[in-house]
Amino acid sequence: MKINRRKLLSLLGVSPAVLAGTADAAGRAKKGTPQAAGAEKVEALNPRGIPPAIHLIPMAPRLSTLDGKTVYLVSDGFPGADHFLDQIAIWFKKNMPSVTTVYRLKAGAFADDDPKLDAELKAKANAVIMAIGH
């Protein structure tokens, strides 16, 4: 079976002139522009782009003890996270009764902002355990 290259290329949306190898069809040189052999210029864009500046945020200071502190147990809504955090709350009640645990469900997905919860954590939490689903 013989394939008609011209028809095949037109079906693919490619001009047959590209296969002819003309400089004009490839968009390189126009007629009347003198170029030395092998001195073609190719202009390309950097696919990596320009990365944004990195803003470093230091880690939170560590507590010397949890006695008398409030630990927030935050779930992002992943199935089973609430049961896991319930078990952590039970452990604290049994092993460290002076620690207060507060359960909260985060609005939206893990990466979404929840300004109301963030404000509450900054105002009332000494520590946060966040259950992040996968």
| pLDDT greater than 80 at residue 45 | no
Q: Is the CA virtual torsion 122, 123, 127, 128 positive or negative? A: negative
If one compares 121 and 10, the residue with the highest pLDDT of the two is: 121
Enumerate the domain spans of the chain: 70-131
What's the order of all strands across the beta sheet hosting 70-75?
100-105, 70-75, 127-131
If one compares 14 and 72, the residue with the highest pLDDT of the two is: 72
Which whole number is the average pLDDT over 71-76?
A: 95
